[in-house]
Amino acid sequence: MRWSRLRSMSALFGLALLAALATDAVAQPPSLTQRDSRGPVTVAVTPEAVDGTVKVKVVLDTHSVGLDTIAFERVVLLKSPDGIDVRPKAVEAVTGSGHHREALLTFPRPGDGPLRIVVRDVGGIAERVFTWDPWPAR
């Protein structure tokens, strides 16, 4: 009787674990965030909305340099399919200070081709390019 009860409880636990893992795998969409950890600053870029405009969240993280002097509107740009650098038309939700900062930047949609966001001169790295091809669906 005791072994039968133990086997039943083990089987129920195993089924519950499998169900939890299967649910977690289905519920998690793939991340659109791309990271570049070169140099002392990690840069992460996530497309937030891609429709008539392009909105991207840019996160800067470090433990060794100050980030307060970085102006997102000067260091982040969109590279159009024909190679033109496009500055953001809006910078919103700038938060953080010191070693952790983030902002939401809005760009005009440049047309067909891959989405390329370029971050320049952050943490001693001349240029970091983040590319989504095809465009992310949001």
Question: Is residue 1 located within the same domain as residue 50?
Answer: no
Give residue 106's pLDDT.
96
CB-based contact 11:17 (threshold 8 Å):
no
Give residue 91's pLDDT.
95
Question: Is residue 58 located within the same domain as residue 8?
Answer: no
In this structure, what token pair is assigned to residue 96? 């953080």
Within-domain flag for 138: no
Give residue 27's pLDDT.
53
Give residue 51's pLDDT.
73
Question: Is residue 87 located within the same domain as residue 55?
Answer: yes
Q: What is the mean pLDDT of each run of 10 residues along the chain (138 residues)?
A: 58 56 54 93 90 91 88 95 93 85 92 90 95 74
How many helices (H) and strands (E) are present in the chain, helices listed first?
2, 9
